[in-house]
Structure 1
Amino acid sequence: MTLKLDPKTDLSFTRTLAVPRQLVWECWTQPEHIPHFFVPAPHKVTSVDIDLRVGGRFNTTFDVDGNIMENVGVYLEVVPGKKLVFTDAYSEGWKPAPEPFMTAILQLEDAADGGTIYTATARHRSPETREQHEQMGWGTAATQLEAYARSLPK
């Protein structure tokens, strides 16, 4: 399915990462890896709780300049090794969030050189939340992910 993107509310990019697709998948789906790339440094992820299945939780806690932020969400789609879709619009058990921020769509393909074609899309409810996300360092997670994954055994 090709997404019809709205530049007012959606952010998206495609990059080729110099790490194998399976390693990128492991980084996104194993809790011990998430703190190494998920939020722009110097901010930190202090906890991660993953139940990798449709309807399963993707919960993270951030420390942003000393402010603790709880982020709860669920997986909407899981295609092993290829695609993750998650949102904070719901928490586990399909409980709606009062003020959701985004839905993330990650798509992974093999690159010809053994790397990964990595497409990240973030869909927001409003132009204001899209702008806020862009100002938070949109795209930084992919750069940090590549650097971290390159440090791991292949």
Structure 2
Amino acid sequence: MTRRELGDAATTVVAEGSELLIERVFAAPRELVWAAMTVPKHLAHWIGPHGTTTEVVELDLRPGGRWRWINRTDDGEVAFHGEYLEVDLPKRLVRTTAPDMEPAGGPPAVETITFEEVDGGTRVHWVTTFPSPEVLDFAVGTGMTLGILEQFERLAGLLAQD
């Protein structure tokens, strides 16, 4: 398995096998980071790359609850959806995720996001397990990595405002 380091100085992004690891420490308390990542009015301000506006259509934060949002840019829009499998406020989220597409694009990926208090901030450790290495390669090939880096920059900026 080839390990690919795709991050920058602030955000670790590593693709290996069928897993994508994203990690960053934010200079904010865990409860604030949790809220930014789970409350629709906050989520809409940072999810997606620069130039993206996001509409949170659904967010039912409980095991079995569904979520859906639409990212819009000048080039069009793409929607994502999934189901929460585990919610342990403010420590851990596990959810499925998939783009909305016709026909359905196969099984969803599973995201496990943990929020760890560290000296002066919160470490977000986000592992996405894709259905196969090929699906991860396809996602990375779409430019997803740049989007991750930019959205985490946007999240850091949002957290700095509070």
Q: What TM-score does the superposition give when structure 1 sets the normalisation length? A: 0.79
Give structure 2 stretches of 5+ with no counterpart: 1-13, 99-103
Residue 93 (structure 1) aligns with: none
Give the whole-Å Cα distance in 2 for the aligned partners of 1:133 and 1:140. 16
Partner of 2:118: 111
**Is the 8 Å Cα contact of residues 101 and 125 (structure 1) preserved in structure 2?**
yes
Deviation at 1:64, TM superposition (A): 4.0
Select the residue among 16, 28, 31 that pairs with 2:25: 16
Cα RMSD over matched residues?
A: 2.4
| Contact persistence 1:77–1:83 (CA under 8 A) | yes
SS in 2 for 1:38: coil
The residue matched to 2:137 in structure 1 has which SS? helix
Identify the residue that residue 92 of structure 1 maps to in structure 2: none
**Number of the residue aligned with 1:143:** 153
Q: 1:82 deviation in Å?
A: 0.5
8 Å CA contact 2:15, 2:21 repeated in 1: no
The DSSP-based 3-state class of the residue aligned with 2:44 is helix
Residue 157 of structure 2 aligns with an amino acid whose one-letter code is A
User: % of aligned pairs identical?
Assistant: 29
Matching residue of 2:70: 61
Higher strand share: 2
User: Is contact 1:61-1:69 (8 Å) kept?
Assistant: yes
1:47 deviates by: 3.0
What is the TM-score with the length of structure 2 in the denominator?
Answer: 0.75
Question: Per-residue deviation at 1:109?
Answer: 1.0
2:109 matched to which residue of 1?
Answer: 102
Structure 2 CA distance for partners of 1:88 and 1:65, relative to 1, 3 Å: same
Q: Which runs of 5+ in 1 are unaligned?
A: 90-96
After superposition, the C-alpha distances for 1:95-140 in whole angstroms (9 at most, x for unaligned) are xx65345221110011122x10111111111223323433222343
Aligned pair in 2 of structure 1 residues 7, 45: CA closer, same or farther (>3 Å)? same
Aligned to 2:7: none
